[in-house]
A and B are shown apart, each in its own frame.
Chain A
Amino acid sequence: MKKIRFVAALLCLFLVNVMPVSADDAASPPKVVDHANLLRDTEEAELTEKINSMIEKFQIDVVLYTESRKHGADIQNEADLLFDNNGYGIGDTKDGVLFLLSMQEREWAISTHGKAIDMFSDYALNKMGQKAAEKYFSKGHYSNGFNSFLDTLDRTADNHMKSIEQAKDNNAGIAEQGTNEANEANEANEANEADEANGSADIEVSEEKDQPQDSSTTDKVEQNQEEQDQEKEDEEDEKTPVDYIIPALICGLIITLIIMRKMKKKLKAVKSQDDADVYKSKDIGAKIYKNDEFLTSKITKTRLEKHEPKSSGGGTTHTSSNGEKHGGASGKF
């Protein structure tokens, strides 16, 4: 019996040690694939390091992929296929995210698979992609763009994990409360009555479990995330003195135009009078009779556009041409 326990313990230790290593396995495909040559080697190394730490932390694969030529009509489908065909993804469900940047038509796409579909909402994916594309890729700052994407991905995944843990704690608390109530009922009543009390407690717990995650908590988490994003953006917006030259010249030009126009206008003091304001009689005031008549009224109604609810329960899915279920987002820059 002792031998069996020892072997089981060794097996457990082995599994615990092996699991993280499997993510960093040397045989696994590269996490940064730069076919479009947009990144320096040092930048690639930095990004890879960041990705590896994320893989360890969240147990999902993260891939950055650039290409100079597009291999299909649909950029989203191409991202899905790259993920499916190159052996990306961790675990049986192949959890992972792939960010594809295609330079041919200046497009981007994010493909999610497995539990990553639930981790990132469509809204979050779109925002991550758009931010990186509009703020960095469009200006040629590719390394900064990928870094921004990874940072936002990290925060979003982190928030998702926290909200799940919080939901678990809440459920555990409710379950514990239900059990306590049942115990009290046991002590106070006879065995039959105690059974009834237990039964009612079970019902309460199951009701709580069926409820979706607390929406206010999720909203707060997303709000915090947006605030953090904004702070991060502000930090990233740091400009060099050279960046201020053109705005200063434009302001100088506007000021010059205003001043010179004013100076030139001073030289001309000829203006036809088009009214007779000063010749109104001072002795006899103007008499005005007012009449405001209501004619009719009209009411029009317009359907309000509803914003997509911010859901932490993951994004919408589609199926790649390989038949795999993916989530994702795409756009242009």
Chain B
Amino acid sequence: MSIKGYKCPSCGGNLVFNSDTQKLQCPSCGNEIEMDEIQKYAEVVESADEQEDTYEGDEGSQESPKEWEVKEVDGKIIYTCPACGGEVDADQTTAATKCPYCDSPLILPGQVSGEFRPDLIIPFQLDDKDAKEAYQKFCKGKRLLPKMFQSDQRLKEIKGIYVPFWLYSCKVEGTMTLDAQKKKTWSDGDYEYTQTDFYLLTRDGEVYFEHVPVDGSVEMDDSYMESIEPFEIDQAVPFQEGYLSGYEAMKYDQAKDECWDRAEKRIDKTFGGILYDSVETYKYSSVSSRGFTASYSNKTVKYALLPVWVLNVKYKDKMYHFAMNGQTGKMAGILPVDWKLFWKYTLGIFAGSSLIIYILMLIFLL
């Protein structure tokens, strides 16, 4: 498996993607390089390396740059960091990661090429500091949250991950039929008359949907990924490996056909709602749906890597997971409840509100 790491042309340090400048940056010398430039630079270096390999008999005459070593132990692929010798686990879906000891970036181009090459990528717009801030803000004002939960020591892990998503676009055409009734009542003194008029309502429509996202990774929790939607897809750029440097990335392990059902359900719900909302319900005394059909055409699917910050917080031997949209900062997660505080508040509010209401009753009703 080929391995890639972008090196600084000035000092040879590992370049990582900087979300603030949207450029690759060398942490050692601070050198910043545009994404297009580093791509060209990398291509030249790669071709020069290939040419060097064709020389014979000069092996070992020049000091070759240190590379990641790969070995397989018990079916697991383990990469050894060339900088610190640390070992990095990578599973079948890992497309990029970094050394947990020295942060040296590791990109596996084989995982993002061919059928696994993403069409689009939304580069990280927010960094780990933003993620921490968003997490602190998310915890603020939660009265039932245990006080100790917010301490920094609880935050065990924070990592930026490019999560694989399928983006579905299509045209939906369909028909909804509805039964409707109008009722009119009058009386002549002895009898009450009710006239019921029956109607058959038909609504035909067509609606275009663009880039409905469905997470293509089994590992990522779908409800978390849907909670941090929407992503601003119009800010997505064509995929380049350089964006992965310094972050983790995954390749999809759920095919686009498998994920379509989820997108279809969401599209159907919205389309059905549009058709139903077009009925002037105020004209009728009752309206009920009889049936609904939808067909899809002009379907296109794009494979995209979208930025997600994942935060893992340990509290009382339990891990709490949070996800943040790496583009918009929207946070998702479930915070624990401090049950002592819960009952304290319950009793306090109950006593307080009952007393206030009692006093108000005495003032205004007695």
Contact = CB atoms under 8 A, between A and B. Distances in A.
Contacts of A281: 207-210
Given A298-B196, A300-B194, A268 B209 contact: no
A248 interface: yes
Contact of B207 (A249, A251, A286, A293): A286
A98 B353 CA distance: 50
Contacts of A287: 205-207
A268 B144 CA distance: 11
A165 to B, nearest CB: 34
Contact of B141 (A239, A266, A269, A277): A266
Given A249-B354, A274-B265, A302-B192, 20 more contacts: A252-B350, A252-B352, A260-B346, A260-B349, A266-B144, A267-B334, A270-B332, A272-B222, A277-B273, A282-B210, A289-B205, A290-B201, A293-B200, A295-B199, A297-B195, A297-B196, A299-B195, A301-B191, A302-B194, A304-B189
A274 B272 CA distance: 12
Interface string A105-131: 000000000000000000000000000
A275 interface: yes
Given A253-B350, A260-B345, A304-B189, A279 B196 contact: no
- B333, B346, B352, B357: most-surrounded residue (chain A CB, <10 A): B357
26 contacts: A244-B358, A244-B361, A248-B361, A252-B352, A259-B349, A260-B346, A263-B144, A264-B144, A264-B337, A266-B144, A267-B336, A268-B334, A269-B331, A271-B227, A272-B226, A273-B226, A276-B270, A279-B267, A281-B210, A283-B208, A286-B207, A287-B206, A292-B202, A293-B200, A294-B197, A295-B199
A7 interface: no
Contacts of A274: 265-266, 269
A175 B203 CA distance: 76
A263 B198 CA distance: 47
A255 B336 contact: no
A241 interface: yes
Contact of B358 (A245, A253, A260, A279): A245
B62 interface: no
B310 interface: no
Interface in B238-275: 263, 265-267, 269-270, 273-275
Instruction: List the 7 shortest-distance A-B pairs measured between CB atoms, nearest first.
Output: A252-B354, A281-B208, A248-B358, A276-B266, A267-B335, A273-B226, A289-B204
B333 A270 contact: yes
A78 B132 CA distance: 85
B156 interface: no
A269 B321 CA distance: 11
B192 A304 contact: yes
A304 B187 contact: yes
A242 to B, nearest CB: 11
A141 to B, nearest CB: 19
Q: Is the interface of B mostly helix, strand, loop or mixed?
A: mixed
A23 B209 CA distance: 93
B311 to A, nearest CB: 13
Given A248-B354, A286-B207, A264 B193 contact: no
A288 B205 contact: yes
A21 interface: no
B121 to A, nearest CB: 19
B142 interface: yes
Interface string A1-40: 0000000000000000000000000000000000000000
B174 to A, nearest CB: 11
Contact of B334 (A239, A253, A269, A280): A269
Nearest to A296: B198
Contact of A260 (B180, B266, B332, B342): B342
B36 interface: no
Contacts of A275: 266, 269-270, 273
B95 interface: no
A278 B230 contact: yes
A303 interface: yes
A272 B221 CA distance: 10
